[in-house]
Amino acid sequence: MNIVLPKKNQNKEEVLLQDPHNIIIIGANGTGKSRFGREIERRYSDCSFRISASDALYVNPYRKVLPHSIAELYAKVKKENAVLGKEILTEFDQLLYLLQQEEFHSLVNHKEKLKRGEDPEMPVTRLDKTQSVWESLFPHSRLLRKGGEIEIWSAGDKDPYTSYHMSQGEKVVFYLIASVLYAMPEALIIVEDPEIYLHRSILASLWDSIEQSRPDCTFIYLTHDIEFAVSRPSGIRVWVKAYDSAHCSWDYELIENHESFPEEIYLELLGSRKPILFIEGTDSTSIDIKLYPHIFPDYLVKPLGGCTKVIETTKAFGEMKNFHHLDSKGIVDRDRRTPHEIKYLRERNIYVPDVAEVENLLMLETVIRVVARRMLQDEDLVFETVKENVLELFAKDLDAQTLLHTRHRLRHKIEYMIDRRLNTIEELVEHVETLTDDIDTRKIYEDIRTDFEKYIVDRDYNAVLRVYNQKGMLPQSRITQLCGLANKEKYLSFVLSILKENKDDAVLIRQAIQKCFGIT
């Protein structure tokens, strides 16, 4: 089925989607995505079927009964059934009633056929289909049919419980599976907040199963949840940015896959009004992921994993500036990079800190002084002691650190030289065999060592932080004991607590760390 989307930016031309499997309408709160869905529903009123789990679980006396909805189906059955007693108020309970009615009628018809001597197959009802999918998602639970009631038995429970005592998540899963089975053939099934009350572990598998149960239908999802949008890989994504009520039009874009840009990141950032700061790391316990959101509060901080991904994504996002109008920057670790490498990255909005490790940011003089003062210690004594300890540690590691930096410098030189354009394998062989002829490894080593020795003689603490790659430096410098904190984790937590206060000391720490990047 082809779908024509609502009017875009006051334009008269229509946006046509040819036979989409599903459509994900994504946008921040207040951008008009619900109105966008209602406009599609209005245009295709004869075949639209709307479901909303958040509405289905609660009584709303002001909610209208929509055409082709569970509530309308229930109203028709109620009108035809004069013996129906009390009014059923929630759409969830109305759905249960419809399922039970179908169950009753199918079994009566089956019984009558048996009485006539026929050999009919056991009917498969909507409740049978719902039960099959529901139990596949909750493998330790079973749906039981008992005297007109649906009960749930879970492994480990002594007694079953009724549908009334289902958890919100269990009710939502049941409602979503069963309700789509009532949609007319080849329907547009419009789903509001398809992720609500659902655990991440079953989100994708639930909607995969639901879509498979109605392959004749087109699903239109209205969501602001990035993870859900990514879980629908075969869908067309519509980013709704704003609604113009005066002209009943929307500012929206179709989101296509871009080979050079991670789809999940792209979708997540579309809903942000902030500039983007891509950083390394994926582990939520890492220092940079905990620290950077408080150091750069005006940015949406997004961890991507390794430095290559940060560089590629920042570049790709910058190239798409005409599409999204969001500023983007990246941060990668220093990793013994040369000034030339750092300059190259900075020209591409990739920032490198003026310290060797992210842990070294916590050892900046300003940070140490603020923590010591807040812990009622002598900040001058604490800093001078830490400084002496760090210089001593660096002096002991001088040979190892010099060798690390020499290896990096050589690797960079060789990689740069081997990238020359060569036309034949013979030229390449000759080039590789003579590759290191012009490289004086010992001189590189001695030059680096001379610089490092000067840092020690000059007692240049900041220069040491810039080149000293030693993850154990923070505890070995005794900074935690000197500040009266138990360990490195307590020290980091204390720094973060100061930043969260957002008072004068937070400003001092934030400015000191921002200065290391040149991001202001």
Domains of the chain, each with CATH number or no CATH:
3-123+132-137+169-255 (3.40.50), 263-352 (no CATH), 358-505 (no CATH)
* E strand or H helix at 126: helix 126-137
Structure tokens at 348: 């591409």
**Measured between alpha carbons, how far is 237 from 23 in angstroms, rounded to an integer?**
6
DSSP 185: T
**Measured between alpha carbons, how far is 300 from 475 in angstroms, rounded to an integer?**
31
pLDDT tens-digit readout, 451-510? 999 999 999 999 999 999 888 899 999 999 999 998 999 999 999 999 988 899 999 999
Q: Kindly tell me the burial class for residue 214, based on how many C-beta atoms sit within 10 Å of its own C-beta (0-12, 13-18, 19 or more).
A: middle
**Measured between alpha carbons, how far is 110 from 127 in angstroms, rounded to an integer?**
16
At residue 187, the 3 state secondary structure works out as coil
Report pLDDT for 79.
78
Going 28 to 32 to 35 to 39, the CA torsion angle's sign is: negative
DSSP 223: E
DSSP 26: E
Q: Which residues contact 111 (CB under 8 A, 6 or more apart)?
A: none
**Nearest one of 392, 408, 407 to 473, comparing CA atoms:** 392
pLDDT tens-digit readout, 276-310? 899 988 766 688 888 999 999 888 888 888 888 88
Please provide the DSSP assignment of 430-462 as one string.
HHHHTTTTT--HHHHHHHHHHHHHHHHHTT-HH
Query: Which residues does the chain have with pLDDT short of 50?
Result: 259
> Model's pTM, two decimal places?
0.63
Distances, alpha carbon 267 to alpha carbons 64, 272, 334, 356, in Å: 33, 10, 29, 33
pLDDT tens-digit readout, 377-417? 999 999 999 999 999 999 999 999 999 999 988 887 777 66
**Beta-bridge partners for 149:** 146
Report pLDDT for 84.
56
**Cβ(223)–Cβ(25) under 8 Å?**
yes
Report pLDDT for 83.
56
Report pLDDT for 284.
65
**Beta-bridge partners for 413:** none
**Measured between alpha carbons, how far is 360 from 472 in angstroms, rounded to an integer?**
10
